[in-house]
Amino acid sequence: MHIHTYKIPYCVMGDNPTTTSIVQTTTFGKQLAFARQKSHFTIHAFAQLMGIKLRLLEDFENDLAIPEKKHVAKMNRFLTTSIPYPTKVSSQQT
């Protein structure tokens, strides 16, 4: 049996560690894969449970596709760890 450990990168903002805010830099796909594995689902079993094609779930986990809100809501019904709906990151022009 393999035990997988995950490190979720974050940056701490501010000087005082007790009053700082933490900004997570983990992608939606990585959050989804982590939550699915933590819930003890294989990718194949979770795709069947969700009623979606395996390839679509792989695209979600590899950040190649963004799921609709209805898919995220359904995922959260089955996962032990809730995942937030992915938000678009706006790029700043210089």
Residue 64 lies in domain: 27-78
- The pLDDT of residue 20 is 39
d(CA 22, CA 19): 10
Query: Is there a domain that residue 84 lies in?
Result: no
C-alpha dihedral sign at 68, 70, 71, 77 = positive
> If pLDDT is split at 50, 70 and 90, which confidence band does 86 have?
confident
Query: Is there a domain that residue 21 lies in?
Result: no
Domains contained in the chain, number: 1
**pLDDT, tens digit (0-9, with 9 covering 90-100), for 5-54:** 444 444 444 454 443 334 457 899 999 999 999 999 999 999 999 999 99
Give the domain CATH number at 43.
1.10.260.40
Q: For residue 8, give every residue at least 6 positions away whose Cβ sits within 8 Å of its Cβ, in sequence order, or none.
A: 24, 26, 30, 34
E strand or H helix that includes residue 10:
strand 10-13
Query: Is there a domain that residue 90 lies in?
Result: no
- The pLDDT of residue 87 is 76
